[in-house]
Structure 1
């Protein structure tokens, strides 16, 4: 098991966390391969459908067999029951869209990293009091980079990662990092519906490489 600090280190070094769900296990695996081929070493699969647990287990198997160094996390975990299911399925870290102390305890008791979704200062503080080291600001599109800049100093020990509304352009990405984030979550702006529907895996790999290059150039 990777320790929490190592996982935080990998996400902050990568500066982005791709996230996606697809009900088809084969498509889910092919997307993961496309991201891995681009150099991605940490991914959030999202718990957005009844197929999520079985698909996650299939992804875990592929990672263990052929993707050395890849961290496989699960997102959209709101209940203790779901947290337990994905811990058993081998999740490296768990992301929630909300702050819920029983889920935090379940994840921490398993020795795993828990990243909750927050928006208000009260939610961020509650997350911090529940042991969060990184918070996901969601939906980022509602508040924008200036919001992070305004509240970040209230929480000097916390790491911020906006998700939702982060674009793949250098300008937009730079704005977020200038505001003080350490990573950005990227869903449909990176892994678009078109890519999923048409299974454009090579295109996804090249687009991901381009975003990683932008991130590597950010000081």
Structure 2
């Protein structure tokens, strides 16, 4: 549990969790390096394509070349089999878009941190009773900062991280942190399909630095 708490603390310290998927292995490794160059030390690679496992393994191998302190999560985990496969492949922790009891059990058995996706107070309640300390609020753009403000008092010991639609702007990120979240997941608003198609890694590094600067300037 101590290691799991350390990962949570690292997420809370970074305050931003970049997430992406791409079919091309070289692109995945290059995006990882671009994020690392910006100062990112925790990344979520989403399990959203048939090349996910092979590409994750390549990213995991690339860690040994100058990125040994990088934490790699695998997201969009929806089954126990997926959880087991990526744990075996070296995932530092797992993230899901839903609460799934089988995934929860698999992560628990392997002593791996798991962040479930929640959208309702009931789901958050179930996650808390299962021992989760940090949940992903998804989809963030549907829920909005007002949702966090409304339910946070109900779950004083729970940390929240919205994902989906969070934008790299002081106004948007500031609104989320003002509502009480501990971190924000940043996907297509930072690592867009256009940026990936153009292999524009400089823009990824720039936007990641901007996100880190924005969150660093927000009062905790």
Q: Please state which band the TM-score falls in when normalised by the shorter chain.
A: over 0.9
Q: What is the CA distance between 1:102 and its match in structure 2?
A: 1.3
Stretches of structure 2 that go unaligned for 5 or more consecutive residues are none
The aligned runs of 1:91-130 (5 Å cut-off) are 91-130=91-130
* TM-score normalized with structure 2 length: 0.97
1:172 alignment counterpart: 172
Give 5+ residue unaligned stretches, structure 1. Answer: none
Aligned ranges for residues 50-199 of structure 1 at < 5 Å? 50-199=50-199
Check conservation: 1:2, 1:92, Cα contact below 8 A: no
Q: Counterpart of 2:63 in 1: which secondary structure?
A: helix
* 1:73–1:91 contact (8 Å) kept in structure 2: yes
**Residue 64 of structure 1: CA displacement?**
2.7
- Equivalent pair of 1:20/1:191 in contact (CA under 8 Å): yes
- CA–CA distance in structure 1, aligned partners of residues 194 and 2 of structure 2: 34
In structure 2, distance between residues paired with 1:129 and 1:211: 32
Q: Give CA deviations for 1:155-206 in whole Å, capped at 9, x if unaligned.
A: 1111000000111100110100010000000000000111100000011111
- Aligned residues, how many? 219
Runs of 4+ in structure 1 over 2 Å off = none
Partner of 2:45, secondary structure, is: strand
Task: Note if 1:203 corresponds to 2:203.
Answer: yes
**Conserved? CA contact 1:11–1:183, under 8 Å:** yes
What secondary structure sits across from 1:48 in the alignment? Answer: coil
Across the aligned residues of Structure 1 and Structure 2, the Cα RMSD in angstroms comes to 1.1
Which whole-Å CA distance do the structure 1 matches of 2:183 and 2:156 have between them?
16
* Cα pair 1:104 1:131 within 8 Å, conserved: no
TM-score (norm 1): 0.98
Deviation at 1:2, TM superposition (A): 7.9
